[in-house]
Chains A and B, each alone.
Chain A
Amino acid sequence: MKIIAIDRNGVTHTLEGRDGWSVMEILRDAGLPVAAECGGACACATCHVYVEDGWLEKLPPRSDAETDMLDMALAVEPNSRLSCQITCSPELDGIKVRIAPE
């Protein structure tokens, strides 16, 4: 599956996702600037992304923990998600995410 990731400079990166990995892990391993300070524990809100182009509706809804943690993120929008909480799967082939401001 592919992940289309837009960095903070507006540059688009096409990344190869891996089933079962989190989108955060794919972004991080590609060297994109997601701090992911807590390492994927839904405990820091530093892997915040905007899910673009209608992909939000295709994701399972936020857990209460993710909704709570987003209260600590900056510039939250209705399409905000924590990328450590999005799991790569064939259904998400082509998902587009934009990395939120630091």
Chain B
Amino acid sequence: MAVHETDVAIVGAGPIGLFAVFELGLLDLKAHLVDILDRPGGQLTELYPEKPIYDIPGLPVVTGQELADRLMHQIKPFGATFHLGQLTRALEKLPDGRWKISTDADVEIVAPVVVIAAGGGSFTPKRPPIAGIEAYEGKSVFYAVRKMDAFRGRNIVIAGGGDSALDWTLNLAPIAKSLTLVHHRDGFRAAQHSVNRMRELVAEGKVRFHVASVKALHGEGGVLEAVTLSGADKTEWRHEADAFLPFFGLTMKLGPIAEFGLNLNENLIPVDTEKFQTGVPGIFAIGDIATYAGKLKLILSGFHEAALMAQAAFHICRPNEKLRFQYTTSSSSLQKKLGVA
């Protein structure tokens, strides 16, 4: 268990969490960020890295990836600590008045201020709408491959047509007893060389491919014995399998934030528009997850929210200090912090 003490714990390393580091940093507040994704950027890098964004002030056009990269560059002087690939699981108040957040990777962050900048929630694998699939998860149904060896000698069914489906088809085929790839069409959005290699394996009889989908799971106590496949012409057949790996990408779910004891309004967190503080003192919410009268889910709105949040966070973290409002253009002390003076 690693425990970190800091000024501000930020849940979410999307664009707004990243810019919060900047605004906090100008006020000499240190931050730790937690994100379920394994890289910073949130929706920018996960959903639309290649898509152009046209409404960032001063940047006539910027792609999602480029904006994430630029924000990372902008906050570099402030040395924030990132805890990536981790889900923030719990938030609790300590006897000394500070907050502790803990992650599913056994990291704890203790800080007087917590900022929830979690966008639409945490990115989690899409779960196919198959009756009773939950019971098999972790035993026979997996949304990621952690240890390849766990699949040795198994009869594997992989569903999907993207890079994950194809990559794991290629990687697991040599160690599986059998491997069957199913997809709704005979076409793939995955890298062409992976598709070509998969077709070679099919031709060699080492992988089976069906234009089909998994309609039902059969087994006992979470142990899969077979799946029902349904083909393009709706004929169904039973297919022996003891491992099922659906790869349909990620979707956003609110997750444990729902259990943080905050008021929620349709999965959004109501805040005031002076400090962007929730109903709980010391807990702030900014970006897409925050809601208030007139809220617009725009990146630029989140940036504004981050700036006002930082002012309020300063008074909580440094109750005995006077906040000196300064401009980066004219303040040599801010310029020193930024490493430009």
Contacts and interface: CB of A to CB of B under 8 A. Distances in A.
B48 interface: yes
Contact of B251 (A35, A39, A75, A76): A35
B30 interface: no
A37 B187 contact: no
A71 B189 contact: yes
A74 B248 contact: yes
A72 B249 contact: yes
A67 to B, nearest CB: 7
Contacts of B208: none
A74 B51 contact: no
Residue among A44, A69, A73 having the largest count of chain B Cβ atoms under 10 Å: A44
Nearest to A77: B184
30 contacts: A35-B120, A37-B47, A37-B120, A37-B251, A38-B48, A39-B297, A41-B48, A43-B48, A43-B51, A44-B47, A67-B185, A67-B189, A68-B189, A70-B184, A71-B160, A71-B162, A71-B183, A71-B185, A71-B189, A72-B126, A74-B127, A74-B128, A74-B248, A75-B128, A75-B213, A76-B184, A76-B185, A76-B213, A77-B184, A102-B129
Nearest to A76: B184
A32 B223 CA distance: 36
B144 interface: no
Contacts of B251: 35, 37, 44, 46, 102
B188 interface: yes
A68 B184 CA distance: 12
Given A35-B252, A75-B213, A69 B189 contact: yes
Contacts of A67: 185, 187, 189
Interface of A: 35, 37-39, 41, 43-46, 67-77, 101-102
A72 B163 CA distance: 10
Contacts of A41: 47-48, 51
7 closest Cβ contacts across the A-B interface? A71-B161, A101-B129, A68-B189, A76-B184, A72-B249, A71-B189, A43-B48
B188 A37 contact: no
- Residues of A contacting B: mostly: loop
Interface string B241-269: 00000001101100000000000000000
A37 B187 CA distance: 24
B159 to A, nearest CB: 9
A50 B114 CA distance: 42
Interface string B181-199: 0011101110000000000
| Interface range for B | 20 to 34
Contacts of A46: 251
Nearest to A39: B297
Interface of B: 43, 47-48, 51, 120, 126-129, 160-162, 183-185, 187-189, 213, 248-249, 251-252, 297
A102 B185 CA distance: 20
Contact of A73 (B248, B252, B297): B248
Given A35-B252, A46-B251, A75 B188 contact: no
A75 B129 contact: yes
A39 B128 CA distance: 22
A17 to B, nearest CB: 23
B61 to A, nearest CB: 14
Nearest to B51: A41
A51 to B, nearest CB: 15
A76 B184 CA distance: 6
A4 B129 CA distance: 23
Nearest to B120: A37
A74 B215 CA distance: 11
